[in-house]
Chain A
Amino acid sequence: MKSEPFVYHSPSSVEEVVSLMNEHDHAELVAGNQSLAIQMNNRLATPDHLIDLNGVDELAYVDERDGEIEIGAMTTHKTIANSDAIDRTVPILAEAAQQIAGPSVRNVGTLGGGIGEADPAGNYPTVLTALDATITITSESGDRDVGVDEFFIAYMMTEVGENEMITGATVPTDPFPIGRTGMSFLELKRVPHTWPKLSAAGIVRVDDPTRDDPTVEEARLTFANASDTPLRVEAAESAVEGTSLTDDALEEAAEIAMDSADPADEMQAEAEYKEEQVGIFTKRALREAYDRALDQ
């Protein structure tokens, strides 16, 4: 099918986008258009106005500052995957971008689109949750910053309200000192270019990688598609913190993570299978993150 008719707008600044949203009812923002077009062509989504963000150049940036890195909403997956600044400070984000779909999607798909879609299987929501990022939401009354833990509300439902737009994401980098931090992003995906059945993001910071059996100072563990929003398992993180990532600690973390998961059945992956995989991916992601923290 083809979409229902709509009026197309092509603003060139955030200010213009915000005023267009206020001016028109039933308006939808479009970024890389890798998901919205499908829903429009199926006539599930029938906006009267389409506001195209591709002319808003001010939203495509990677800004590395002291203690944080900020990425604009219109930055493409490809740019994120190839960014030296991101690869150096928060490599897991570059890895996650590199694993989204195929090259044609990565060339146009954007960070803001991926966050706004809030698909439970999405890479960015899970990785940004592991990184404890902040999402900036902009409207006529200015910017407001929302922590990722509050941003994702339900399946494809976020904190973004009427006449608001996502303008960027900011990741604090202080918790991840280069040289003793390792990050890992793993997908359970049997076929390339599809959505993963499950993904895990693991981050480990050790005290001193040159010592024998370095101790985990801080760990992060999150999952995609293990629940209807990104799942962070803080109790599993605590289980490995203060240890040298022993098998026992990993086993305990895996048990806790499996208990916390509440995945949905899918045609090619039953809930029970995904739950089992949560345990396996807990161990793999934390192990890989730990090994990377030591190997620098």
Chain B
Amino acid sequence: MSMIFDGEFETHRAPDELWTYFVDPDIVADCAPGMEEMNRISDSEYEATITVGVGSVKPTFSVDATVLEMEEPEMLVMKAEGSGGRKGAFEAVSRMEMSESEDGGTILQWEAEANVSGIIASLGQRALGSVAERLIGQFFDCMEGKVEQGVDATPRMAPKSDAEADLD
């Protein structure tokens, strides 16, 4: 089942202030909802264990994430493939774009296209979309919190040279 999620987020911080945080894998891992563990394979590739829940349905996914495109400080494209064992699997490409707002802050727009398979797909777009958009909202709130707290961030992600932003 193919699904598209999207959303928008605004903050008074400028795009170049935010950028460093979004390309620091440790900070991203800290804010990602349900993140249990993350290992760096390279600056472009990460593997993670993530548990997310819709009610009493709480699959744990082994996720391989790849950074596909980076344009500082305005665009970040990533691909993620997750396997939740017998509960199903997903693959997704997400694109995040940041532009400066009139008052010097940032308008952040994101969109993700996902293929979901297995029994989790039976929850449907209505359930998965509602929860995904909420979780991504929590992620951005957490990232904004890190910026506000002035947590040290080190930009370490790099795009993978030969990767393509298509779903299989």
> A interface vs B, CB < 8 Å?
26, 28, 36, 39-40, 42-47, 117-118, 120, 153-157, 228, 264-266
9 nearest A-B pairs in the assembled complex, by CB-CB distance:
A155-B130, A156-B55, A154-B134, A228-B130, A45-B56, A264-B126, A154-B130, A44-B57, A155-B127
Find out whether the CB atom of A155 lies under 8 angstroms from the CB atom of B119. Answer: no
B120 to nearest A CB, angstroms?
Answer: 7
Which of A120, A154, A155 is packed against the most chain B CB atoms within 10 Å? A155
Find out whether the CB atom of B126 lies under 8 angstroms from the CB atom of A228. Answer: yes
Q: Is chain A's binding surface mostly helix, strand, loop or mixed?
A: loop
8 A-B pairs besides A40-B56, A154-B130 with CB distance below 8 A are: A42-B119, A43-B87, A46-B87, A117-B55, A155-B130, A156-B54, A157-B131, A228-B126
Residues on the A chain within 8 Å of B87, using CB? 43-44, 46
Residues on the A chain within 8 Å of B54, using CB? 155-157
For the complex, what is the distance from the CA of A18 to the CA of B120, rounded to whole Å?
29
Residues on the A chain within 8 Å of B53, using CB? 157
Find out whether the CB atom of A39 lies under 8 angstroms from the CB atom of B131. Answer: no
For the complex, what is the distance from the CA of A157 to the CA of B57, rounded to whole Å?
11
Find out whether the CB atom of A155 lies under 8 angstroms from the CB atom of B126. Answer: yes
Residues on the A chain within 8 Å of B57, using CB? 39, 44-45
Residues on the B chain within 8 Å of A120, using CB? 126, 130
Residues on the B chain within 8 Å of A153, using CB? 134
- Report B120-153 residues with CB < 8 Å from chain A CB: 120, 122-123, 125-127, 129-131, 133-134
Find out whether the CB atom of A44 lies under 8 angstroms from the CB atom of B119. Answer: yes
For the complex, what is the distance from the CA of A42 to the CA of B120, rounded to whole Å?
10
For the complex, what is the distance from the CA of A46 to the CA of B87, rounded to whole Å?
10
For the complex, what is the distance from the CA of A266 to the CA of B122, rounded to whole Å?
13
For the complex, what is the distance from the CA of A154 to the CA of B122, rounded to whole Å?
18
Residues on the A chain within 8 Å of B129, using CB? 155
Of all chain B residues, which has the CB nearest A156? B55
Of all chain B residues, which has the CB nearest A228? B130
A141 to nearest B CB, angstroms?
Answer: 22
For the complex, what is the distance from the CA of A133 to the CA of B56, rounded to whole Å?
24
Which of A44, A154, A228, A264 is packed against the most chain B CB atoms within 10 Å? A44
A46 to nearest B CB, angstroms?
Answer: 8
Residues on the A chain within 8 Å of B58, using CB? 26, 45
Give me 5 A-to-B residue pairs in the complex whose CB atoms sit less than 8 angstroms apart, sorted by A's number: A44-B119, A46-B87, A120-B126, A153-B134, A155-B54
A229 to nearest B CB, angstroms?
Answer: 8
Residues on the B chain within 8 Å of A155, using CB? 54, 126-127, 129-131
Residues on the B chain within 8 Å of A157, using CB? 53-55, 130-131, 134
Find out whether the CB atom of B130 lies under 8 angstroms from the CB atom of A44. Answer: no
Find out whether the CB atom of B119 lies under 8 angstroms from the CB atom of A43. Answer: yes
Which of A40, A120, A228 is packed against the most chain B CB atoms within 10 Å? A228
Q: Which of B119, B120, B131 contacts A156 (CB 8 A)?
A: B131
Find out whether the CB atom of A28 lies under 8 angstroms from the CB atom of B86. Answer: no
B35 to nearest A CB, angstroms?
Answer: 15
For the complex, what is the distance from the CA of A118 to the CA of B53, rounded to whole Å?
13
A163 to nearest B CB, angstroms?
Answer: 14
A4 to nearest B CB, angstroms?
Answer: 9
Find out whether the CB atom of A44 lies under 8 angstroms from the CB atom of B120. Answer: yes
B33 to nearest A CB, angstroms?
Answer: 11
For the complex, what is the distance from the CA of A265 to the CA of B126, rounded to whole Å?
8
For the complex, what is the distance from the CA of A39 to the CA of B58, rounded to whole Å?
11
A199 to nearest B CB, angstroms?
Answer: 16
- Report B29-58 residues with CB < 8 Å from chain A CB: 53-58
Of all chain B residues, which has the CB nearest A44? B57
